[in-house]
Chain A
Amino acid sequence: MSDERAVTDGGSGEAAQSPWFLPVVLFGGMVFGFGLGFSQMARPEVVLDFLQFEDFGLVFVMGGAAVVTGTTFFLATRLLDRAPLTGDAYTRRLKSFDRNVLVGGGIFGVGWGLSGICPGAAYASLGVGNVTILWAIAGMFLGAYLQGWWRARDATSTTTATSAD
């Protein structure tokens, strides 16, 4: 597990390198959201059906998406030089492994199994008219805040005035 070095989180994000940067991000997000809608992932019921072994379609959603990203990452890191809109190098998404990956994955699993929602699908669900999903989105922001508050507090109580990662 430790062979994976932590790399920068999704590029530098030094926005506005090109006037096309935000329009392309918007377009990519729309394609992403369209896919979540089309694949029924914007419906928590369908996710819960998968987790109860009543509809295995979700395997094709994640599998189909990972085949496209995997092929793209594989080819771009070998054949392409730098991204046109930012000048960033092409990398793979490699995060360092530690206990938080397991604990966080477990907590996420309980939440996903309870509600059938995850972040991207929740935003998409709003797009298909599901205003009830605002409960989930509010919960996610609260959870992210609690996590940040707790880790900041943890960091200041264990070390003196050094900011955690």
Chain B
Amino acid sequence: MSAAEKVREVPAGSEARRRRRGRVTDENGKRVRVWELALRYALLLAVLALTVGPFLWQLSTSLKGPTEDIFSSPPKFLPGDPTLHNYDRVAQTIPVWDYALNSLKVATANVVTNCVGAALAGYALARLRYRGRKVATLVFILAMLVPVEGIIIAQFTTMRELGLNNTLIGVVLPGCIGAMNVLLMRNAFLNLPYEIEEAAFVDGANTWQRFLRIALPSVKGTLAVVAIFAFMGAWDDFLWPLIVLSDTDKFTLTIGLNYLHGTFANDERLVAAGTIIAVAPLIALFACLQRYFFRGVGEGAVKG
């Protein structure tokens, strides 16, 4: 894993590595046959074209100038004269940077509330002994099973009663401490050896100190996963903001994009530029944090 982990570019450029076939072994330590390896890479590249291709086509469309034919058959995959003109036009058509800022506010708030709230509640469920802990755990399990799409209208009326509809706070609140994240943190805390905390307890550390100084630093990995999912979930959310927001100046990026598409559907270059603005930061973020995602996956394989 670790050796392969460092390779970040498309293997098309790694001929030299492929020639040193002795290094390429399967999980049993046996050499992988050349034709099998070639077949694997062929399949991998085919799937790569299917998964990443559409994004690249969108990027290409967004870079094509107004004089270039985007409908040609056979299609032209590369823009003849790349230009950022369409991105300017998006910003002139909708306040795309304000929307991006709104999305960023919502996503950041969601990360903070989820990390703090889920860590606290997870610790309470995992560690502390008190009556009603089982009931509290059950509450979170039940909440996890509720299909959010079904309660969306009631959530909206709840927001109205609180006077928070059509605000960014209203967008954040329903998911600001996810039941799933609470249970994830609970399991992480349950896996910590209890003796360490017991020693601290005996030394006179109170609950808060034990949580902050001993338990929390040991579950950084799970906390990172919660943070990543909270950010992406908030940044990508569509149905809830669509229902709760009505003023165009409060839109998040996804709702703004939907609006752009609804109003300028026949201007493909414009919509393409808008989608790239929305998706690029997230892909960049994921590229930086991807090792947290794949940690633990492939643990069964021999390291090498």
Q: Do A and B bind each other?
A: no
Q: Which residues of B contact A (CB under 8 A)?
A: none
